Amino acid sequence: MSLEKISAQIKAHGDKIPPVELWDPEYCGEMDLQIKSNGDWFYAGTIFKRTTLVKLLSSVLKKEGNDYFLVTPVEKIKISVEDAPFVLTQWYWQDENKTTMIVSNNVGDEFVLDAEHPITQNAAGEIYVTVRRNLVAKLHRNVYYQWIGLAKETKTDKGTELIFTSANCQFSLGVV
């Protein structure tokens, strides 16, 4: 399977994120495509320089168990992801009252940080945000330090946590 063929199949769906969760095509094997932990995409050891291609391919990314696949209506190809497929790189307040935070990742997905897009932490304390379906973005260090500055120390059942609010949801950056 070539990148050109996959791209042509994806482009047939326009600019919307395709409904890959509804597609269950036959498995077609693996591709030498890797997403590094910093969000860089590599094909056969060469970094992707075309951001539009990365954005296009990311729109058909699907996670099943611990494995990642590029999925079209007729093909399913396994790829390698070092950590998370995305990196959360930017944020801003949607309103003057600072009640709703908009976040975006390295491929341009933009969404509200809310109950549908929560923060999670792994056992090592690394922070992730759900982007779509069961795909997550790892929190970039710069964003983490910015959020530390706006979080408030709050006593909880877990101890004293750094917490901030967006879209009427409280999010913890961890125990202090």
Do residues 61 and 123 share a domain?
A: no
> Which residue, among 58, 60, 63, has the nearest Cα to 48 in the 3D structure?
58
Distance CA 124, CA 129 (A): 15
Report the CATH number that the domain containing residue 135 is assigned in CATH: 2.30.270.10
Residue 10 has pLDDT above 90, yes or no: no
Do residues 62 and 143 share a domain?
A: no
Distance CA 121, CA 152 (A): 18
Q: Is the distance from CB of 89 to CB of 102 less than 8 angstroms?
A: no
Do residues 13 and 66 share a domain?
A: yes
Say which residue, 15 or 168, is predicted with more confidence.
168
**Residue that is last in its domain, among 64, 81, 98:** 81
Do residues 69 and 102 share a domain?
A: no
Residue 39 has pLDDT above 70, yes or no: yes
**Residue that is last in its domain, among 81, 100, 124:** 81
Do residues 100 and 159 share a domain?
A: yes
pLDDT tens-digit readout, 70-94: 998 889 999 999 999 999 999 999 9
Beta bridge partners of 154: 161
> Which residue, among 155, 45, 160, 39, has the nearest Cα to 108 in the 3D structure?
39
Do residues 12 and 76 share a domain?
A: yes
Residue 142 banded pLDDT, cuts 50, 70, 90:
very high
**Residue that is last in its domain, among 26, 52, 81:** 81
Do residues 128 and 59 share a domain?
A: no
| Averaged pLDDT for residues 124-146 | 96
Do residues 102 and 55 share a domain?
A: no
Do residues 119 and 160 share a domain?
A: yes
Residue 17 banded pLDDT, cuts 50, 70, 90:
confident
Domain count for the chain? 2
Instruction: Check the CA dihedral 65-67-70-75 and report its sign.
Output: negative
Residue 12 has pLDDT above 60, yes or no: no
pLDDT tens-digit readout, 93-108: 999 999 999 999 999 9
Domain that holds residue 134: 86-175
Do residues 94 and 160 share a domain?
A: yes
Do residues 32 and 70 share a domain?
A: yes
Report the CATH number that the domain containing residue 29 is assigned in CATH: 3.10.540.10
Residue 18 banded pLDDT, cuts 50, 70, 90:
confident
